[in-house]
Amino acid sequence: MDADKGLASVATGAAPAALGPYSQAVVAGGLVFCSGQIGLDPETGEIVPGGVEAETERVMANLSAVLSAAGVDFGRVTKATIYLADMTDFAAVNEIYGRWLGDSRPARATVAVAALPKGARIEIDAVATSA
């Protein structure tokens, strides 16, 4: 990206390509800033079928792939934001999110939004400390 500014772009084929002019993640100042992930299958570019549970599993797999490409894992995540199209999905999303994070407990916000790209039901972004 801008190496002269101390920024490094992160990209992996194991997560969906960016849908616009942004990076899957950027490493800067000892932090990994992961762009929001929705439940897109990286191979098809389509939302996975199966409702919010399947989408959440895919979101977490996508985030895991981006974090891995940056050389870190969920244990290094310090802050996450969950965006839900329907707040009644909170409990199901929370259970899956918690399982993926294991004992790690980053700071987090969860907000309801009017809409998400491609009709997604969930999006999650994250900030992690770099290795």
Q: What does the pLDDT look like over 42-73, one tens digit per residue?
A: 999 999 999 999 999 999 999 999 999 999 99
pLDDT of residue 5: 67
Question: 1: how many CB neighbours lie within 10 A of its CB?
Answer: 14
- Average pLDDT of the chain? 95
Looking only at the bridges linking them, the beta strands covering 107-112 and 77-84 are parallel
Q: How many domains does the chain have?
A: 1
Tokens 């802050």 correspond to what residue? 79
CA 43 – CA 13 distance, rounded (Å) = 9
CATH of residue 52's domain is: 3.30.1330.40
Does the pTM exceed 0.85? yes
Structural tokens at position 52: 């919010």
Range of the domain at 94: 3-129
Chain-centroid distance of CA 96 in Å reads 13
**111: three-class secondary structure by DSSP:** strand
H-helix or E-strand spanning residue 9: strand 7-10
pLDDT of residue 119: 96
Among candidates 43, 44, 18, which has minimal Cα distance to 9? 18
